[in-house]
Amino acid sequence: RKEVEQDPGPFNVPEGATVAFNCTYSNSASQSFFWYRQDCRKEPKLLMSVYSSGNEDGRFTAQLNRASQYISLLIRDSKLSDSATYLCVVNAGNNRKLIWGLGTSLAVNP
């Protein structure tokens, strides 16, 4: 099993749609969880951290399920500008090393 696994997509959705991505991780000792966004030929940028109780930032909601070892990202009311690759990131146990998923590609269509 890969350490961090994501569905690569692509997800093609119309503007205004709600779309959800899941990411599974294998290290039960992981403590930090993040979603990053990467635009084509650009650097990854933090979208949001994922907290145990779940957290929301505008149209974006992140959830963590420790029992099943997965995190999720929900995007409501998709915009054209949401088109990007979304990277799931988990720390490697009790240290600062981060394990990166391969990313899920999202295309929001007019």
Name the site residues for other proteins (rule: CB under 8 A): 32, 34, 42-46, 49, 87, 91, 96-98, 100-103
- Going from the C-alpha of 16 to that of each of 4, 48, 88, the distances in angstroms are 29, 21, 23
Q: Are 84 and 32 spatial neighbours (Cβ–Cβ below 8 Å)?
A: no
CB of 16 to other proteins, least distance (A): 30
- Give the integer Cα–Cα distance in Å for 73 and 86: 9
- Give the integer Cα–Cα distance in Å for 101 and 16: 26
- 46 vs 80 by CB, closer to other proteins: 46
- 74 vs 98 by CB, closer to other proteins: 98
CB of 110 to other proteins, least distance (A): 27
- 49 vs 69 by CB, closer to other proteins: 49
- Token representation of residue 86: 């979304």
